Chain A
Amino acid sequence: MAFLNELAKREERLAPGHRLCPGCGQPIIVRALLNITDYEIVIAHATGCMEVCSGLFPYTSWRVPWIHSAFENAAATIAGAEAMYKVWKRKGKTDKDIKFVALASDGGTYDIGLQALSGALERWHNFLYVCIDNQAYQNTGVQRSSASPFGSNTTTTPVGKVKKGKEQPRKDIVSIAEGHHIPYVAQGSPHAWRDLMNKMKQGLEVEGPAYLNVIQPCCLGWRFPPDMTIEVARMSAETCVWPLYEVIDGAIKINYKPKKKLPIEEYFKMQGRFSHFLKPENKDMLKEAQRLTDKQWEWLLKREAAGL
């Protein structure tokens, strides 16, 4: 355990006193990022829970340079900062090693910020994009986003007599990022802190753009008790709903394969947003959700076996 003791000695770069819900996983992810590296970091943060709650004027929880950007342009903001840094470096105005990070939640990545993200990846800026994916617009009151999984109960896709939650499956953003053929794409989870920190480190070290998608169980929107955040994240990996994998230069590596893949009910019954799945009349929906999960997992396994 000496590894964590060494990390804990470092100065904390995310100050306490932010106003996120008790049990929120976002600071766990952000602290993993800030603690694992010695580099000076510049962050552009798209609108989202973390951005709103850590930057209530005149307070800030950040001890690193941090730019509050709008919903749609975190990637564009950090691309501008990174381009300026490159010029400074060329002109000899700075000799510091600075790393650039864009943070956003799923709304600012999957939906509103997609074009800025795609543009910055394509222009090959040297930055790490971390999407903290809590699978809905939790901050504004749990509206559906394109990251919400099939059948999830949100305030804009409520469960009633006719409709049973969101009708579409979630968008595969990791494949979209992969489609830009960038050097590093990964998917992580806060329960696997070692794996997550390795991914963040690799994303910062790599030359060129890197994309990291991290699940963030939201106790408010997913409806579970606050102390279960890490348990829910763990179960998402055990049921293969959220596979942990990375794609380095186009070659996939699955970081965690559960010894015994658990059925999706185990993950669903922890969360209030999926409670309707467990009713006998919705058996077909449960089957469909299991089919979607299996399909994705088998596709990943096949890709790994083929070395793609």
Chain B
Amino acid sequence: MKIGEKAKWDELLTGGVIEDPGNSVNYKTGSWGIEKPIWNKDACINCMFCWVYCPDSAIKVDKDGNMAGIDCDFCKGCGLCVKECPKPNALAMVLKADIEKKGMDVVFKETFGGK
């Protein structure tokens, strides 16, 4: 059974087996929050505390196991990563509405200063 299709009861697999493991990636939870974290690459020390504490597996990781950004498709905006980040200037929560209004560059500058 594919997501979005309607199936009759006798077309489903016995026991409600789902053949496609991890298919919840098709359900985006990124729209839930009113805030979202933004990441300052220059201040980040790649400690990966954000990764270990993220409930939504929304921290992107590059091939060396370093922080590579935030997956806004799934981030629910709980703010745990910002709270647990040991560096004061690496992650911050901002209002999504602010980004829409002012643009990402302006919000980034306002939050982290300078660069």
Q: B residues within 8 A CB of A8?
A: 48, 51, 61, 65-66
Chain B, 96-113, CB within 8 A of any chain A CB? none
Q: A residues within 8 A CB of B57?
A: 12, 14-16, 27, 31
Interface hit among A71-79, A165-173, A175-183, A221-229: A221-229
Question: B76: shortest Cβ distance to chain A, in Å?
Answer: 4
Q: B residues within 8 A CB of A27?
A: 55-57
Interface hit among A52-60, A91-99, A140-148: A52-60
Q: A residues within 8 A CB of B95?
A: none
Question: A51: shortest Cβ distance to chain B, in Å?
Answer: 13
B63 and A9: CB pair below 8 A? yes
Q: What is the size category of the interface that chain B forms with chain A?
A: 35 or more
B55 and A231: CB pair below 8 A? no
Known contacts A15-B22, A20-B55, A23-B79; is A59 also within 8 Å of B33 by CB?
no
Q: A residues within 8 A CB of B87?
A: none
Q: B residues within 8 A CB of A23?
A: 55, 76, 78-80
B29 and A17: CB pair below 8 A? yes
Instruction: Please report the total number of A residues contacting B with Cβ < 8 Å.
Output: 44
Chain A, 10-55, CB within 8 A of any chain B CB? 12, 14-20, 22-28, 31-32, 54
Per DSSP, chain B at the interface is loop
B71 — nearest CB in chain A belongs to which residue?
Answer: A16
Query: B41-71 vs A: 1/0 string, CB under 8 Å?
Result: 0000111110111111110010111100001
- Shortest beta-carbon contacts, A-B, top 4: A227-B79, A17-B24, A5-B65, A23-B78
29 cross-chain CB contacts under 8 A: A4-B48, A4-B49, A4-B65, A8-B66, A9-B61, A9-B63, A9-B65, A16-B24, A16-B29, A16-B58, A16-B73, A17-B26, A17-B27, A20-B55, A25-B55, A27-B55, A28-B52, A28-B54, A54-B24, A57-B18, A59-B24, A60-B23, A60-B24, A64-B21, A68-B16, A193-B52, A226-B80, A227-B79, A229-B78
Using CB atoms and an 8 Å cutoff, list the residues of chain B in contact with chain A: 1, 3, 16, 18, 20-29, 32-33, 45-49, 51-58, 61, 63-66, 71, 73-74, 76-80, 82-84
